[in-house]
Amino acid sequence: MSDIDIEYLRSWIGQSRQDQDLIATRHARLMAATVNHPESAALVDGAELPPLWHWLYFLEGQPADRLGRDGHPARGQFLPPVPLANRMWAGGRLDFLAPVQLGTQVRKTSSILRVEHKAGRSGDLVFVTVLHELTAADGRPLVREEHDIVYKNKSPAPPAPPRSARAADTPHAATGGARRSLKPDSTQLFRYSALTFNGHRIHYDADYCRQVEGYPELVIHGPLLATLLAGFAIETRHRSLRHFTYRALAPALLGDVLTLQAEAQPDQLVLAATVDRGITCMQAEAVLA
């Protein structure tokens, strides 16, 4: 019997907050060094911020006594107090309405959009969807984003990849087209955590990963995977993004070799990030200008 009071958690729906930040060029250049961006010299005031790099800004800095044991802000503040141990990025949908320009002030409004309870193979799952809207100083809409967060209980790592997550069996995985492989290391994970002020311990505390959340190794950030796929879409087609959807399927771990894949479809680019363990970790679709 589940002890999740979904109606109580849904009382957070509609809660919102606002923030404003300078889209600093220096921060973008640090990100370029972290992900080996091929055109870092073009990142100057007035240039367009690459897609998903807005996650480097509007950062929340809670004092240590307001953090949970996982390193995230304690639950029950902006996000509802979901009583499940593990929190992960599940996916999202973004519309890029106008360029986010470096060196400009941008306002962000975030609202709790949905809270849903589902039963998965490993037990209870709670999905919280947050709407983020970025606007320019003159009120022009820049980005509309729906971000899905999933909460679940600790589950032991399976002895073999589940069939539904194997790359060859994933129906929308890119099987041809462009490919590029890379191997994230602990330095890259540290830099990305630092740039996004992400205190989640699964990205830097191996003992916590194994003993508390049940991962055999440090976890590569879901938003980093999504950012790499969005950048690969632009690198492949040399066009800007208009819409981007991504969905996490399985964790990618430190030591994995990632392969980014992009396959052209009639009206979109289908993307996937797979690892050498035979797993598709993330799927994405990109609509380009």
Read off the CATH number of the domain in which 56 is found. Answer: 3.10.129.10
Total count of domains within the chain:
1
pLDDT tens by residue, 193-239: 999 999 999 999 999 999 888 899 999 999 999 999 999 999 998 88
What's the pTM? 0.89
The C-alpha atoms of residue 119 and residue 117 are separated, in whole angstroms, by 7
**23 with 57: CB under 8 angstroms?**
yes
Could you list the mean pLDDT of each consecutive 10-residue stretch along the chain, which spans 289 residues?
Answer: 84 96 97 92 96 96 81 83 90 98 98 93 90 97 97 62 44 64 96 94 93 91 97 90 96 95 90 92 95
Q: Name the β-bridge partners of 287.
A: 243
In a domain, 278, yes or no: yes
In a domain, 103, yes or no: yes
The C-alpha atoms of residue 205 and residue 189 are separated, in whole angstroms, by 11
Q: Which residues, 6 or more positions from 46, have their beta carbon under 8 angstroms from its beta carbon? A: 101, 102, 103
| Domain containing residue 37 | 6-288
In a domain, 94, yes or no: yes
Q: Which residues, 6 or more positions from 228, have their beta carbon under 8 angstroms from its beta carbon? A: 35, 182, 258, 260, 273
In a domain, 269, yes or no: yes
